């Protein structure tokens, strides 16, 4: 074998895919135009890259008093506007009310906790599902959600629940609740003094990319004097469709001592869908000026990332997303953009490849069908099953033979609003699209 000739061959064989299409390049140019956060010299790693202005649509804060109301299983409905304008006084405990959604997720049993190493680093490994998790404390989303849903039927997170309780975050709300939300996109930045140290006496919610924001360092950045209590850090990301999407959150003990750096625990929802709900309870002592408690639900949505990485033929969903993005860019409020998106179906995206399948994308048309778009690498028998989070089979398509190539597999399914899991079996290999969100 001649090395020279082999190198020449390697130079000439065309690549399988284009890494950056024009839209992706354009997105990068836009991101490069946005000024970075000035952070001073002390913490240069804090100059986070910006995911895009559309992430403003990401933040929905759900305000609810910890008064025992069950928003899903028959409790009194709370008007979104009303909940935005008032916080119901709570009992001051951090524990969510019995039967509240995600309660089981929010309270992991002790044996599930894994501590950082002696050096303060969290051990890393490849997760059981083959994805490169950056933190082994994270378990696959579905197993957690599934287990929780099995334990507590009311755990199921429905769009109805979200809609009833969700309001768009406003600066005024955050101010009223004494919260800083720092998502590295400048939604609400924590001020820095000239020494590059954060000077903030508010409670802080930090959302950042794990590559750039190392958890312990981010915590440490709050200053050795701990002037800014930290509620939670969304620091665990999973690569979805080439972009890093948040998949987890670490709660930080609220007593604001040194202990929390070493004793953080992953206690919140972990998901790989485009929508990542994160729930945080704020006790009365950390609540607003009148000592009222609140529950905050952060919905992180990387609209920009999805828009730029999807092909234009993804069954019209892209146009809906783009339209929403344009609305945001034209200065429309986050409320309006979120409301607009809520009326559209939302897709699940999965790049997990099996031996036979690649580039799986799932689009749900609520009440009618689910369209699974994928590239089949070889002829194979394909079957599709859709489960809800409780594991119930809600739709199924029997074995169907498909030739290699791009396939649009349409499955008639009358899906209600909610979260689902799609399992596509091709030639014996399963590919799972976790947590597909269907909205009307």
Partner 1 sequence: MQSDRASQFMEVYRPVAQRLERYCLMLTGDVDDARDLAGDTVEQAWKGFDGVRDRQAFLAFLFTIASRRWARIRHGRRGRVQVDEASFDDVFDTSQDVERQTDARMLYEALQTLPAEQREVIVLSEIFDMSARDIAAVAGCTEVTVRVRLHRAKARLRRLVGAGDTLPAPVLKPTPIEVDR
For residue 406, state whether it binds partner 1 (rule: CB under 8 A).
no
Minimum CB separation of residue 105 from partner 1 in Å reads 25
Residue 255 in the binding site for partner 1 (CB under 8 A):
no
Cα–Cα dist 295/437, whole Å: 22
Instruction: Work out which of 68, 242, 391, 428 binds partner 1, going by CB under 8 A.
Output: 242
- Residue 129 CA to its chain's centroid (Å): 18
Tokens for 29, please give them: 């140019």
Dihedral pair phi/psi, residue 333, rounded to 5°: -70, 160
Nearer to partner 1, 119 or 194 (CB): 119
Residues binding partner 1: number (CB under 8 A):
38
- Give me the 35-54 binding string for partner 1, x by CB under 8 A, dash otherwise: --------------x-----
- Nearest approach in angstroms of CB 439 to partner 1 is 28
| Residue found under tokens 């020494």 | 195
36: left (phi over 0), alpha (psi -120 to 50) or beta: beta
CA angle 349, 354, 358 (to 5 degrees): 45
d(CA 26, CA 303): 15
Where does this chain touch partner 1 (CB under 8 A) — which range of 22-30, 60-68, 137-145, 340-348? 22-30
Any contact of residue 117 with partner 1 (CB under 8 A)? Answer: no
Q: What is the Cα Rg of the chain in Å?
A: 22
Residues forming beta bridges with residue 420, ordered by sequence position: 388, 436
Binding part of the chain for partner 1, among 53-61, 63-71, 126-134, 141-149 by CB under 8 A, reads 126-134
Which range, of 31-39, 195-203, 255-263, 421-429, touches partner 1 by CB under 8 A?
31-39
If we measure between CA atoms, which residue out of 359, 353, 328, 356 comes closest to residue 341?
328
CB of 335 to partner 1, least distance (A): 29
Question: From the list 83, 94, 134, 425, which residue makes contact with partner 1 (rule: CB under 8 A)?
Answer: 134
Q: Please identify which residue in 147, 170, 344, 351 interacts with partner 1, judged by CB under 8 A.
A: 351
Query: By the 8 A CB rule, do 433 and 271 touch?
Result: no
CB of 48 to partner 1, least distance (A): 13
Q: Compute the distance between CA of residue 394 and CA of residue 305 in angstroms, rounded to an integer.
A: 29
**Footprint of partner 1 (CB under 8 A):** 1-7, 9-20, 24-26, 28-29, 31-33, 49, 121, 124-126, 132, 134, 211, 239, 242, 351
């Amino acid at each position: 074998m001649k090395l020279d000739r082999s190198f020449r061959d390697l130079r000439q064989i065309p690549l399988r895919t284009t890494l950056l299409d024009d839209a992706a390049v354009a997105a990068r140019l836009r991101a490069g135009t946005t000024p970075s956060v000035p952070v001073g010299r002390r913490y240069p790693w804090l100059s986070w890259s910006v995911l895009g202005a559309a992430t403003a649509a990401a933040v929905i804060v759900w305000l609810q008093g910890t008064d025992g109301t069950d928003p899903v299983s028959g409790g009194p409905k709370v008007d979104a506007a009303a909940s935005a304008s008032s916080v119901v006084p709570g009992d001051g405990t951090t524990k969510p009310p019995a039967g509240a959604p995600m309660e089981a997720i929010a309270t992991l049993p002790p044996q599930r906790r894994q501590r950082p190493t002696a050096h303060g680093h969290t051990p890393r490994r490849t997760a059981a599902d083959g994805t490169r998790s950056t933190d082994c404390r994270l378990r696959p989303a579905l197993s957690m959600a599934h287990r929780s849903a099995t334990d507590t039927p009311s755990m199921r997170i429905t769009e109805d629940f979200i809609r009833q309780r969700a309001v768009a975050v406003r600066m005024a709300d955050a101010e009223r609740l004494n919260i800083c939300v720092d998502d590295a996109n400048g939604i609400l930045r924590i001020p820095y003094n000239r020494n590059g140290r954060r000077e903030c006496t508010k409670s802080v919610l930090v959302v950042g990319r794990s590559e750039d924001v190392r958890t312990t360092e981010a915590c440490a950045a709050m200053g050795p004097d701990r002037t800014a209590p930290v509620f939670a850090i969304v620091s665990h990301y999973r690569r979805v469709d080439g972009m890093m999407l948040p998949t987890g959150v670490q709660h930080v003990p609220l007593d604001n001592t040194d202990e929390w750096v070493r004793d953080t625990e992953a206690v919140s929802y972990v998901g790989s869908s485009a929508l990542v709900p994160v729930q945080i309870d704020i006790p009365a002592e950390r609540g607003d000026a009148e000592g009222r408690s609140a529950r905050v639900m952060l919905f992180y949505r990387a609209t920009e990332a999805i828009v730029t990485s999807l092909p234009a033929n993804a069954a019209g969903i892209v146009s809906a997303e783009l339209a929403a993005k344009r609305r945001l860019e034209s200065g429309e409020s986050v409320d309006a953009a979120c409301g607009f998106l809520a009326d559209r179906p939302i897709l699940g995206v999965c790049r997990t490849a099996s031996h036979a399948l690649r580039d799986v994308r799932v689009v749900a048309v609520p009440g009618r069908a689910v369209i699974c778009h994928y590239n089949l690498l070889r002829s194979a028998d394909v079957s599709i099953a859709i489960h809800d989070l409780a594991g119930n089979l809600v739709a199924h398509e029997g074995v169907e033979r498909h030739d290699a190539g791009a396939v649009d597999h349409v499955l008639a399914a009358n899906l209600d609003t909610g979260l689902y899991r799609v399992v596509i079996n091709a030639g014996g290999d399963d590919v799972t699209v976790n947590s597909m969100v269907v909205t009307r």
